[in-house]
Amino acid sequence: MKLFLMIVALACSALVPLAQAANNEAPVDPLDSARWHEMQKMFLAGQHYVFDPRVRVIAPLDADNPMQVPITVDASALGKVREVVVFADFNPIIQILRFYPEAASAYLGFRVKLQQSTPVRAAVRTADGVWHVGGTWVNTVGGGCTAPSAAATAPEWQKRLNEVSARQWQSGTLAGRLRLRVVHPMDTGLVAGIPAFHLQEVKLSDSSDQALMRIETFEPVSENPVFTLQQKTPGRVKATGRDNNGNDFNVWIEP
């Protein structure tokens, strides 16, 4: 009897770690990417994350122009968001941008360069430290990151470098939207003879100097980047920014 009880006890103790292992399994990637494990280690290593349908990454299923693929990230359903990182699993330069919502909603529209078909993802860190991950596949003919920008062949572009155009408008029940465009070649550095030259940061604040959003941009953001935000409160907005060569801009956007 003692031998039997000992065997049962050993069997039960062996089942505990098996059950814990099952409960602690990493979430299954809904996009079934061969590089997800690498992405998880690169951006989320050691931190708790969940795949969350409330993180919406809106993009065309088939992108005809790999140099100008429209992407919208909407994480406003999560409440208070600290940070959003956007990346593409199979791009040669994986990280696209990061943005930090302050007084603005966790919503950002922009355009990217894609080298090949890939998942495009947004990882959103909420106030409790948890990362919420959403994404979508984008199919494209490719070559977006290794094609030269139009500015590379246009002698006049330097005169307009960091020129900003913008507008604000009402959008349904929202207080409004803001869209700004910055003239910049956003060269990736992957074209022979053309070094990396791109915007690094864009900051937006209101007339009382309250931060609305800070955006960190990387090489895969499309040439002449366009950013679309949702405003909680309409009004005058200050936009400042700089690129990796030290060129900057500082403008006011009127409502």
Instruction: Report yes or no: 49 and 40 within 8 Å, Cβ to Cβ.
Output: yes
Q: Give the integer Cα–Cα distance in Å for 207 and 239.
A: 11
What per-residue confidence (pLDDT) applies to 233?
A: 78
The pLDDT > 90 percentage for the chain reads: 78
What is the percentage of the chain residues whose pLDDT exceeds 70? 89
pLDDT of residue 53: 98
Q: What is the pLDDT of residue 153?
A: 74
Residue-wise pLDDT tens digits, 161-218 = 999 999 998 866 656 899 999 999 999 999 999 999 999 999 999 999 999 999 999 9
C-alpha R_g of the chain: 22
Write down the pLDDT at residue 175.
65
pLDDT at position 24 is 60
Q: What is the pLDDT of residues 67-98, one digit of tens each?
A: 999 999 999 999 999 999 999 999 999 999 99
Q: How far is Cα 149 from Cα 194, in angstroms, rounded to an integer?
A: 10
Residue the block writes with tokens 């199979």: 90
What is the CATH code of the structural domain delimited by 30-39+51-253?
A: 2.60.40.2470
Res 173: pLDDT: 60
Residue 17 banded pLDDT, cuts 50, 70, 90: very low
What confidence category does residue 157 fall into, taking pLDDT thresholds of 50, 70 and 90? confident
Domain ranges of the chain: 30-39+51-253
- Give the residue with greater pLDDT, 34 vs 8: 34
Q: In angstroms, rounded to a whole number, what is the distance separating the alpha carbons of residues 188 and 157?
A: 17
10 pLDDT above the threshold of 60: no
Burial 117-152 (b: 16+ CB within 10 A, else e): bbbbbbbbbbeeeebbbbbbebebebebbebbbebe
